[in-house]
Amino acid sequence: MLEPLSEPFMQRALAEVVLLGLAGGALGCWVVFYGFSYAAESLAHSIFPGLVLAAIAGAPLLLGAAPAIVLAAAAIALVARIAGVGRDAAVAVVVTTMFGLGALLALAPSSPPGIESLLFGDVFGVTDGDLIAAAALALLVAVTLRLLHGRLLIAGFDRGTARSLGVSPAFADAALLILLGAGIVVAVQGLGNLLVVAVFVGPAAAARQLSERMLPMMLLAAGLAALAGVAGLYLSYYAGTAGGASVALAIVAIYLVFLLIGQLRGSSLPRAGATIG
Amino acid sequence: MPAAALIEAEGLAAGYGGTPAISEVGFTLQAGQTLALLGPNGGGKTTLLRALLGELRPLAGRLAVTARCGSVPQTERSRLDYPVSALDVATMGALSGLPWWRRPGRSEREAAATALARVGLGELAGETFGRLSGGQRQRVLIARALVQDAGVLLLDEPFSGLDRPSSEGLEALIGDLAAEGRGVVLATHDLEQARACDLVLCINRRQVACGEPAGVLDDLAVLEATYGGAIVEIPGGGRAILPPHHHHH
C-alpha cells in the first residue's frame, strides 16, 4: 500500500486529487442544490479551445482556460438575450461551438500530439504550479463558502423570500458560478475536460443520500471526493488504467454505493413541491 | 396621541416595469390588527405583498410602512428536499441584522429556538424541515419572521393544504401574535378565515372594497367585482369562493 507513495509523481498526483477533492466535494453540494450540474458540465466543455491554444503555445493550461471560461459565460449571457432563445438552448449553442472550435484546433495537422491529455487529464504530470493553484482553490472555496454559508442557504431554500431576508439570489448565483468556474479551470489539468465535472457532482450527490444537514453533507462530500481521488490513483497505479478516468470511475462507484444505501434505508426526503397535509 | 399606524396606503399603485398591477389601494393597519387580503389569482395580491416588503416602489400614491415586514410564504415554495432543520430555517431570520461577514452564532440560534418555542415547535427544532407537516412548516416560517423581529407578518395563503386541526391551531397562533401588538396581513381565498379578521381588503387589479368583514363580505356586489362569477352560495347560508386553479410552484 505504501509503495506508490515513494514515487514523487504519485505524491504530487495524490496531493492534487486530495486538494481538488476537498474543494470540489464541498462546492459540489451547492452546485447540486442550486441546479448548476448542467452549468458545470457546460463550462468545463466550453474551455476546450483555450486549453488547446495554451498547449500549442506551450503555456500553462490555466492561462488558456481562464479567458475561455469568461468568454463562454459572456457568450451564454449574450445569446440567452436573443428573443426566442432560451437559456438551455443558449448554453447548448455556445458549448458546442466552443468545443467544436477546440476540436478543430486540436485535430489540425500542425497541432502537437498528446492533445488527448486535455480531454482526459494528466494527473501524473501535475507541476508545482498546478499544485499551488489547487491549494489556492481549496483555500478560496473554504473561505468563501464559510463567509457566504448563511446567504447561500437562504437563497437556495426559497429564492422568492430571499430578498426580504436581506439576500440577493442573483448575488448568490454569481458567487457560486464564479467559484465553480475557478474550480473547473484549476481541476481540468488533473481530471481533463470531459471528466472534471465528476468531482463537482458525484461526491455531493452521494453525500446527499445520507445527510440531511448542509454542513455535514459538505464535509462528507469533501471526504468522499478526496477518498475517490486516492482510490482512483491507486487503481491507476496497480491496474495501469488512465489516471483521470480512474478517479472519475471511483467517484461514480462511491455514488452508486451511497445511492444503494440510501435506497435501502428508504429514508430519502420528499422531493421539492410535494405537499403533505 | 394615538400610536402611528403600522401600514398606511393611499392611492397606491404598484407593478412591474412601470405597468401597475394594482392601483387605487388605500388602507390603514394598526398595531394588533389582522387584515384579510382577498382577490383572484393574478389579481395583484402578491404585488401588494411585495410592495409592502419594499421590493416594489410605488408607481403612484403613498405607502408608509413603519414596522419591519416579515414574509411568510406558502411552504410549497420552499424546498422539502433541502438539508436544513427547523432551527436552521428559523435562524435565517437573523441574517439580515448581521454584517455580511458574520455568520449566525449562538445568540442568533438561541433567538431562533425561542421563536420556535413561541410557535409551539420547541420540541421539533432539530427535525428536518422537509419531514414536518404542512402546518408545522408554516409555523417554522412564522418563527423565522419573528426572529426577523417583524412588526407585521405577511402570510400568503397560510391555510392552503392544511387539515382542520392544523388550520385552527394556526389561526389561534396568528390571533395570539396579533394580540401582542403585531400587524397581520393574510392573503387568503377562504371567506370564513377572512371573516375572523379585523379588516378585509378586496383587490382585483384595483381596490374593490376595504372595511370590516361584515360590511364587505355580505355585499354580493363586492364579491362579484372581486372574483367574477366564481362564487357559490352554500346551502344553509354562507358563500364560498370556487377554488381557483391551485398553483403549485
Q: Select the residue of B76, B95, B130 nearest A165 (Cβ to Cβ).
A: B95
Determine, for residues A153 and B88 on separate chains, whether the beta-carbon distance falls below 8 Å: yes
Between CA A121 and CA A199 the distance in angstroms is 13
The pLDDT, as a whole number, for residue A160 is 87
- Give the confidence band of A274 by pLDDT, cuts at 50, 70, 90: very low
Residue A271 lies in a domain: no
pLDDT digits (tens, 9 = 90+) for B66-114: 999 999 998 877 788 999 999 999 999 999 888 877 888 899 999 999 9
Is residue A98 domain-resident? yes
pLDDT of residue B244: 55
pLDDT tens per residue across span B219-230: 888 888 888 766
**Which ipTM score applies to this complex?**
0.87
| Structural domains counted in chain A | 1
Give A272's pLDDT tier (boundaries 50, 70, 90). Answer: very low
Q: In what order do the strands lie in the sheet with B60-65?
A: B19-29, B7-16, B60-65
Tell me whether residues B78 and A157 touch, CB distance under 8 A: yes
When comparing pLDDT for B70 and A83, which is higher? Answer: B70
Considering CB atoms only, which of B84, B162, B249 is closest to A153? B84
Strand pairing report for B34-38 and B183-187: parallel
CB A62 within 8 A of CB A133: yes
- Any domain includes A274: no
Tell me if chain A has a CB within 8 Å of the CB of B70: yes
Q: Does residue B248 have a pLDDT over 60?
A: no
CA-based nearest distance A114→chain B, Å: 43
Q: Higher pLDDT residue, B138 or B242?
A: B138
Q: What was the pLDDT predicted at A276?
A: 37
Residue A223 located in a structural domain = yes
- Residue B186 has which C-alpha cell? 393574510
Give the pLDDT of residue B50.
93
Contact, A57 vs A65, CB < 8 A? no
For B103, name the nearest residue in chain A, comparing CA atoms only.
A150
Instruction: Kindly state whether residue A131 falls inside one of the protein's structural domains.
Output: yes
How far is Cα of residue A3 from the mean position of the Cα atoms in its chain? 30
Show the domain range for A258: 3-264
d(CA B30, CA B45): 20
- Asked if B130 is an interface residue toward chain A (Cβ–Cβ < 8 A), one would say yes
E strand spans, B66-206: 69-72, 152-156, 183-187, 199-203
Average pLDDT, chain B: 89
Pairwise CB contact (< 8 Å): A208 & B103 = no
For residue A132, pLDDT over 70 is answered with yes
DSSP A12-49: HHHHHHHHHHHHHHHHHHHHHHTT-HHHHHHHHHHTHH
Structure confidence at residue B1 (pLDDT): 47
Of the candidates B109, B77, B73, which has an alpha carbon nearest to the alpha carbon of residue B93? Answer: B109
Q: Give me the residue label for grid cell 407593478.
A: B15
pLDDT in tens, A201-257: 999 999 999 999 999 999 999 999 999 999 999 999 999 998 889 999 999 999 999
- The fold of the B1-67+151-249 domain, in CATH, is Rossmann fold (3.40.50)
- Mind listing the pLDDT tens digit for each residue in A135-162? 999 999 999 999 999 999 999 999 889 9
Judged by DSSP in three states, A168 sits in coil
Domain boundaries, chain B: 1-67+151-249, 79-148
The overall average pLDDT reported for chain A is: 89
pLDDT value at position B79? 83
- A45 within a domain of the structure (yes/no): yes
Burial of A126 (0-12, 13-18, 19+ CB in 10 A): buried
Q: Does residue A179 belong to any structural domain of this protein? A: yes
Asked whether residue A276 is domain-assigned, the answer is no
For residue A103, the domain's CATH number is: 1.10.3470.10
